[in-house]
A = this chain, B = another copy of it.
Amino acid sequence: MTSNPAPHFQPVPLDKAYRLINHGPTVLVSSCHAGEVDVMAAAWACALDFSPPRVTVVIDKTTRTRVLVEGSTAFALCVPCAAQAALTLGVGTDSALNVPDKLVRHGVKTFQAPGHEPPLVEGCVAWLVCRLIPEPHNQTAYDLFVGEVVGAWADDRVFHAGRWHFDGAPDELRTLHYVAGGQFYATGASLQVGNGG
């Protein structure tokens, strides 16, 4: 883990953080605890509130990431791009429990944002650092975790002025939407209804 973020890593105001995942992209869930880092993929992550910004994410009981999230009470949602489709599938398929070098194997490198503990995945296009809001019933009954977003950043080539701008950027920077069996959809064409007020 380095402390050198990508050159296009720019802060996003917390009141706009929900927009980083409002369009339903598949995310990477990253966490670290007691010196151990893990990253998994999650299609089941969602905004929960604007203010304070909150998110939900489903983290299965079988994952090593869950142990780190519960231990550190913090995690990040990193939004991968089309260039990272194989990485995303890889960390979503292999578990650190039986593939201890899964991050190396799938080319995952992480860095930290100043003042924030959770590891962030290099090459992603958005990052939300979250403080776990303990909800034991949801965690036990549904594998459902609630987090409050305490820091947000995006790649300013595709997100600036509070909006995604995929149409003017390379397609490999588009976000991903997982279906099943290794199939993703990239985020597609922009449609504007009304005047955008």
Contacts and interface: CB of A to CB of B under 8 A. Distances in A.
Interface of A: 19, 22-26, 43-49, 54, 56, 58, 82, 85-86, 89, 137-138, 142-144, 146, 162-164, 166, 171, 174, 176-197
Given A48-B142, A142-B146, A179-B23, A190 B196 contact: no
A85 B196 CA distance: 13
Nearest to A21: B24
B174 A22 contact: no
A54 to B, nearest CB: 7
Number of copies: 2
Residue picked from A46, A144, A181, A182, most chain B C-beta under 10 Å: A46
B164 A181 contact: no
